[in-house]
Amino acid sequence: MTKTINLTLKVWRQNGPKNKGRFDTYHAENISTDMSFLEMLDVVNDQLTIDGKEPIAFDHDCREGICGQCGCVVNGRPHGAEKGTTLCQLHMRHFDNGDTIAIEPFRAMAFNVIKDLAVDRSALDKIIQAGGYVSVNTGGAQDANAILVPQEVADLAMDAAQCIGCGACVASCPNASAMLFTSAKVSQLALLPQGKPEAAKRAINMVRTMDELGFGNCSNERECEAECPKEISITNIARLNREYFKAGFFS
């Protein structure tokens, strides 16, 4: 049933990448428990605007958990504490009246803060540019059914392909590593026959690029898997490791 709650927010405010940040405290009152977390922030921002203050900058777009643009760290948890949920799908019914909520941006050397809670995740695009594709030009593809893909393989590839590129894996990793993100794409394409011709080059180049961008090293902490809003498994990281060693030692 719908009810309303009052909350205290401690929000990270930072004017720009080079500025020092700080926590500011706001009160969010009469928040309907049917609201999403971002709708709650909308309400706070409306009030800030009316009060002549600057609203909190935060990234968001589709608000249905698929575009990957939203995401902040809520009480120490990227996208909040609900499992398999993006911030836009996190509803206020999971909070209690009187709660204090700390809201921080995703933090990593590779993710610069643009403003407040909005960060620059273009590093993830750069990892994809290093090989997260099958090199086929438009046109000239063979008939779609000429490639047989066993259902289990297609399912595994789809499990990995679900990644929304939100960066929660990096944000949650104690080492700020992008291994889950990288491994999801490498896995998807390594599993499918279409991706095999370039598998070795892809694994090496994507890992190298990931390292160069200043992400940390994976140390099998499994936080990424636990936080991933699409619940992507670290078996993909194991597959990336295999692909990488295969490529490094035998190709």
Partner 1 sequence: MNWITSTLGSSIGKKLLMAITGFSFCGFLAAHLAGNLTIYGGKDAFNGYAEHLHALGPLLTVAELVLLSFFLVHVITGLILYLQNLKARPVRYAVNKTAGGRTFGSATMPYTGALLLAFIVFHLLNFSFVDKTNTTIFNIVSSAFSSPVYVVIYILAMVVAAVHVSHGFWSTFQTVGANHPKYMPLIQTVGIAFAVVVGIGFGFLPIYIFLLA
Partner 2 sequence: MALDAKIPGGPIAEKWDRHRFELKLVNPANKRKFNVIVVGTGLAGGSASATLAELGYNVKTFCIQDSPRRAHSIAAQGGINAAKNYPNDGDSIWRLFYDTVKGGDFRAREANVYRLAQVSNDIIDQCVAQGIPFARDYGGLLDNRSFGGAQVSRTFYARGQTGQQLLLGAYSALMRQVAAGKVQMFPRREMLDVVLVDGHAKGIVVRNMINGAVERHAADAVVLCTGGYGNVFFLSTNAMASNVTAAFRAYKKGAFFANPCFTQIHPTCIPVHGTFQSKLTLMSESLRNDGRVWVPKNPGDKRTPEQIPEADRDYYLENKYPSFGNLVPRDVASRNAKEQCDMGKGVGETGQAVYLDFADAIHRDGRDVIAKKYGNLFQMYEKITADDPYQTPMMIYPAIHYTMGGLWVDYNLMSNVPGLFVLGEANFSDHGANRLGASALMQGLADGYFVLPYTIGGYLAGTAKADVTTGHKAFDESEKQVTGRIDRLMSIDGKRTVDDFHKTLGRIMWEYCGMARNNEGLGMARGMIQELRAEFWENVRVPGNAADFNQSLERAGRVADFLEFGELMIVDALARQESCGGHFNERFETEEHEALRDDDNFCHAAAWEHSGDGREPEFHKEPLVFENVKLTQRSYK
Q: Which residues bind partner 1 (CB under 8 A)?
A: 12, 21, 23, 73, 75-77, 81, 102, 104, 107-110, 172, 174-177, 179, 207-208, 210-211, 214-227, 234-235, 237-242, 244-245, 248-249
- Total number of residues that touch partner 2 (CB under 8 A): 78
The Cβ of residue 37 has, within 10 Å, a number of other Cβ atoms equal to 28
Task: Choose which of 65, 78, 80, 105 interacts with partner 2 (CB under 8 A).
Answer: 65
Task: Choose which of 81, 101, 114, 204 interacts with partner 2 (CB under 8 A).
Answer: 114
Cα(33)–Cα(234) distance, rounded to whole angstroms?
A: 33
By C-beta, is 161 or 221 nearer to partner 2? 161
Residue 38 binds partner 2 (CB under 8 A): yes
Which residues touch 46 (CB under 8 Å, ≥6 apart)?
A: 55
Q: How far is the CB of 152 from partner 2 (least distance, A)?
A: 9
| Six-digit token string for 37 | 């977390």
Give buried/exposed letters for 182-205 (b at 16+ CB in 10 A, else e): bbbbbbbbbbbeebeebbbebbbb
Per DSSP bridges, beta strands 4-13 and 22-32 are antiparallel
What, of partner 1, partner 2, none, does residue 102 touch, CB below 5 to 8 Å by kind? partner 1
Task: Choose which of 9, 11, 118, 213 interacts with partner 2 (CB under 8 A).
Answer: 118
